[in-house]
Structure 1
């Protein structure tokens, strides 16, 4: 009985780990450059939002924009 319980727990653990990996198709992978560009645009939008809300000053926003562009 102990071995049946151990085998069942191992099977459940295996499925919990590998099921998400098996569902994800190869076509879902985004190219690295597209991902980097999306992150860069999100960062610029956050700088603009912070500037509009008054959380950062204009010189800081310009510095952040130029720092993001250098990456």
Structure 2
């Protein structure tokens, strides 16, 4: 991950990830969610992640489940 992607992992600040296709947005968001769930021990039912498409939301969900399992 580059410096900007690493900065987006800081869970103590709000974050909007804007980038071109293939830039790693999904990876950054999944890593941020993973950090919130595992490091900060937040219940998954207390987290909201918004995507513009169902396909992108499903991709994030699958990646997150793969990392957790």
Q: TM-score range by the shorter chain?
A: 0.3 to 0.5
TM-score (norm 1): 0.36
Identify which of structures 1 and 2 has the higher relative contact order when contacts are C-alpha pairs closer than 8 Å and 6+ apart: 2
TM-score (norm 2): 0.37
The structure that is helix-richer by fraction is 1
